[in-house]
Chain A
Amino acid sequence: MNAAAAHGPTIVNRIRELRVSVDGLTQEKLGTLCGVTRQTIIALEAGKYSPSLELAFRIAYALGRTLEEVFQWSAKK
């Protein structure tokens, strides 16, 4: 079992903040760009889901940022 599953998401993200800074980028559109549903973007923004590494890269690419700018890992226990 990984840390996220045991203690809740320990990966925090700035998806919402960065998404609204991109003109016209809705949750639906970001989801389509990354190959996931709008509901997954909602869960990610709410901090209720930690993405796979591949999805994290896709989101960062779609937002035009590096992985570290979008996601941060916190050593919460």
Chain B
Amino acid sequence: MAVSRLAWGVLALALTGALASLLGPDHLWWGLNLGSLGATVFGFTLWVGAWLFARYPDRIFAVAWSIAERRAWTALVFVALIFLAYLRFMWSVAGMPEVPATFADLPSQHFIANLVVLFIAWAVVSSSIRGKEPDIIEADERDLRLRGAADHTGDWALTILVGWCAGLLAFQPAERLSWWLAPLIAANVLIGILIVKSLVEHVYLVGRYAWERR
């Protein structure tokens, strides 16, 4: 088995929490606030997961996986979580009655807090993946070649996304166009494009690793 049941369990719980916080930020479900509950579950599993990675790295990943492949999987999970946090943030921005004029108008406190937590957890997990062996090879020429191919795929994804955005803007009605072109909205859309580019890169990278191991 490539990834242990424990890791899949933690991942599933974290994703369920993230989805609950994304889909139900202000909705009550049987008297429970799904958004708060989801955020709590997500935060708890994230730190439990980071601790498990740091304590038992070989129980999370199969021994047959190289360090670079483990890092690629870790990056994919964290970029996916960052993308979910971004979607939740943009969802709340889209629901604002007026176009935000200044940074202070944006409901960005939770998003920034989520990003800080995710980046810290990512750094903890990533540094623990290497283990304690002094002479371990972290990446060799095959890893670098796969990384290069993933970067190339990411560049294509970026080109397509920018073209798609340009097309979308071209066909927007005038009253909606002013919303899209508000500086803070445009800036956040550009950040979203970069997150999606990174997501495509990492999906490609773990896909190539999986294919070469078949």
Chain A contact residues, CB within 8 Å of chain B:
31-32, 35-40, 42-43, 46, 48-49, 51-52, 55
**Are A43 and B142 in touch, CB under 8 angstroms?**
yes
CB distance from B85 to the nearest CB of A (A): 32
Chain B contact residues, CB within 8 Å of chain A:
64-69, 135, 137, 140-143, 211-213
A46 CA to B142 CA, complexed, in Å? 14
The number of residue pairs between A and B whose CB atoms lie closer than 8 Å in the complex comes to: 42
Of listed A39, A40, A43, residue having the most chain B CB within 10 A: A39
A39 CA to B68 CA, complexed, in Å? 10
CB distance from A57 to the nearest CB of B (A): 13
17 cross-chain CB contacts under 8 A: A31-B137, A32-B137, A36-B141, A37-B66, A37-B67, A37-B137, A37-B140, A37-B143, A38-B66, A39-B64, A39-B69, A40-B66, A40-B143, A43-B142, A46-B212, A51-B141, A55-B141
- Chain A, Cβ-Cβ closest to B136: A37
Q: What are the residues of chain B within 8 A of A40 when measuring CB–CB?
A: 66, 140-143
Can you add 7 more A-B contacts, CB < 8 Å, to A36-B142, A37-B143?
Answer: A31-B137, A36-B137, A36-B140, A38-B64, A39-B213, A40-B142, A46-B212
Q: What are the residues of chain A within 8 A of B135 when measuring CB–CB?
A: 32
A28 CA to B68 CA, complexed, in Å? 16
CB distance from B144 to the nearest CB of A (A): 10
**Are B137 and A49 in touch, CB under 8 angstroms?**
no
**Are B143 and A49 in touch, CB under 8 angstroms?**
no
Q: What are the residues of chain A within 8 A of B69 when measuring CB–CB?
A: 39
Q: What are the residues of chain B within 8 A of A51 when measuring CB–CB?
A: 141
A20 CA to B64 CA, complexed, in Å? 19
A2 CA to B185 CA, complexed, in Å? 43
Q: What are the residues of chain B within 8 A of A43 when measuring CB–CB?
A: 142, 212-213
- Chain A, Cβ-Cβ closest to B139: A37
A31 CA to B65 CA, complexed, in Å? 14
Q: What are the residues of chain A within 8 A of B213 when measuring CB–CB?
A: 39, 42-43
CB distance from A38 to the nearest CB of B (A): 8
A51 CA to B141 CA, complexed, in Å? 8
A55 CA to B137 CA, complexed, in Å? 15
**Are B212 and A48 in touch, CB under 8 angstroms?**
yes
A42 CA to B212 CA, complexed, in Å? 9
